[in-house]
Chain A
Amino acid sequence: MSFFVNQVIIGIQLGSQYMMMALGLTLIFGILDISHFAHGHIYMVGAYLLYIFSVLLGINYWLALPLCMAALALAGVLVERLVYRPLRGTPSINTFIAAIGLLLAIETLVRGIKKDAVRVPVPVDRSVSVLGMSLEVQRIIVILGALVILLLLQWFIQRTRLGIAIEAMAQDREGASLVGINVNRISALTFAIASALAGVAAVLMAPLGSITPEMGNLLILKAFVIVVIGGLGSIKGAIAGGYILGIIEALGVAYISSTYKDVFAFALLIIILAVKPTGLFGERTAS
């Protein structure tokens, strides 16, 4: 039993990471109709930035967190401006292909500079005992950090003027621009927020594993699986889907096979799409 609870906690921690990634994707999709396939590579860049800040420059981990968030937010704005804005109004598949070009360029650039995996030390190198099984404190930090981010995002979208402008644009882009909302500024802001979210996920998760140029590949696919399963553009779906996928994966590794851990998510996607193409929470089809 305690083993099971432990695995569920690990699942929630994995799910926290997935949720933060899926939230960014679903925000960008819901507001701008862009399938931002290079989002996982933005995450990867975030993890490398943490390595540069905390290992190479010796900056404190908790100070590196806002630095990484800011740097990634800036990167997100640049990506929107240079890659996606010129493609506005073209078929959505063009945007997707541009994203593939972007991720290929980012990944090979990083691999060309530093091929081998790097590691970042854990800021709180301790374990606590949960029901007789030990659990790294960092995993608990990930879970709590994700919850804080979730509440902040909720507050921002519902209570601030900018957040309401974002919501307005998600509902009707033309209507929003008619009442004086600057579409370009909101696009940039959305990318900044989503990339900062990826930054939080990267900084919190990076100490738990090794940092490689390929780390964004499977993560982005899983985040997209969550977005499709949860219903496109649905924030609730992204949150629920993130946790569900995390727990399924953790239990799958514990009870079935760790070799095929990455396959569960994708098999699940193909099965769910075959049964219910609109996803579990959404009305929009995956088009």
Chain B
Amino acid sequence: MKGKLNLNFLFALALLATAAVLPLFLQRTSGGKYNMIVLTYAMIWAVAASSLNLVLGYTGQACLAHGAFVGIGAYSIAIMVERVGINYWLALPLTCLLTAFVGFLIGLPSFRTRGPYFAIVTLCFNVIVYATFENWTWLSGGYAGQPITLPAALSGRLARYYFVLAFLVITLLVVRQIVKSIVGASFLSILSNEGLSEAVGISAFRYKLLSFTVSCFFAGLAGALFATASGRVDSSITSYLHSFYVLIYVLIGGVATLAGPVLGAVGLYFLLDRIKGLGEFRYVGFGVLLILIIVFFPRGLVGGLNQLRDWARERRSARSPGEEVAG
């Protein structure tokens, strides 16, 4: 058990070191600079995917409103900084809290439904938000969108890269801490058997709402980071298509694993950018891939790898029973 933990820890450390060193090489060429921007956005979607993972992977509730929450986060930081005149560093936490509060309010009626119907209700909410930002130009800034002025410290793309990376690491650490806590155990119990957890005194409604609110907090963070990276927000960020994409990142990467959503988001976002030339047809493969994953590997890429490793370990220990005790 200890060996496995250390292996995961080393793997995470290696990934983090790569992410930290990579820009030093990318800085040198113009193509590299472009890729650095792509990676910055990819990591923002990784934050969004990790936030969805909390409610989808660990609590089993498929929220299809994360596009709306990312959009609300992006707009609220831009409007706070630009129109209200709040300092950026104060607006950032306020944005997360505001998005979490909106999530709490939406969770109240939505969690009266379950399974696919919860997904549909949240999707309906996303459509409402999208329609509002599309049509209410006073709020959304219309076609031109809402610009945001960044503090001097974040004016360089290298700074923004590390800024986003830092928040991705923080998000993952918080999600890890929650999942390991007693609250996370309650989430998991709802995931595996809602009726039974109610029977042993876990209020499923309350914990689902908690999981959802925390998830929205980080979706708001992803939105704020998106506004920071792009410098301008328009209504397309609130589209429900983003909800679908984030869902796909989580599922293909692997639900209920820490690394899955990150690898899914970064990998797929980068890949989609690579095959830009295919236009719309890229997403056809996306859809088919999603069906294949859910039919054959419902635990995603990382989940599948874990399964494989457990299977190999079981085979080894079956062959030499003494080894497991010794190791």
Contacts and interface: CB of A to CB of B under 8 A. Distances in A.
Given A108-B280, A111-B280, A103 B287 contact: yes
A287 B124 contact: no
B8 interface: no
A97 B127 CA distance: 18
Interface string B271-305: 00000000111111011111100110010000000
B117 interface: yes
> At the interface, is chain A mostly helix, strand, loop or mixed?
helix
A108 B251 CA distance: 20
A100 B60 contact: no
> At the interface, is chain B mostly helix, strand, loop or mixed?
helix
Given A97-B247, A225-B124, A263-B131, A87 B294 contact: yes
Contacts of B286: 101, 104-105, 108
A246 interface: no
Interface stretch (B96-104, B106-114, B170-178, B261-269): B106-114
A101 B115 contact: no
Contacts of B117: 35, 228, 232, 286-287
A108 B121 CA distance: 24
Interface stretch (A52-60, A119-127, A142-150, A265-273): A265-273
Contacts of A218: 127
Nearest to A213: B280
Interface in A82-130: 83, 86-87, 90-98, 100-106, 108-109, 111-112, 115
Contact of B109 (A92, A259, A263, A273): A273
A287 B113 CA distance: 6
B249 to A, nearest CB: 13
Contacts of A95: 116
Contact of B125 (A103, A266, A285): A266
Contact of B244 (A100, A111, A285): A100
A93 B124 contact: no
Nearest to B114: A287
Contact size range, B: 35 or more
Nearest to A82: B291
A100 B116 contact: no
Contact of A37 (B116, B124, B289): B116
A269 B127 contact: no
A274 interface: yes
A242 interface: no
A285 B62 CA distance: 17
A102 B281 contact: no
B113 A94 contact: no
A179 B242 CA distance: 47
B158 interface: no
A260 interface: yes
B185 to A, nearest CB: 20
Given A112-B284, A221-B120, A260 B294 contact: no
B127 A109 contact: no
Given A35-B120, A93-B115, A104-B283, 4 more contacts: A83-B295, A91-B60, A103-B287, A273-B113
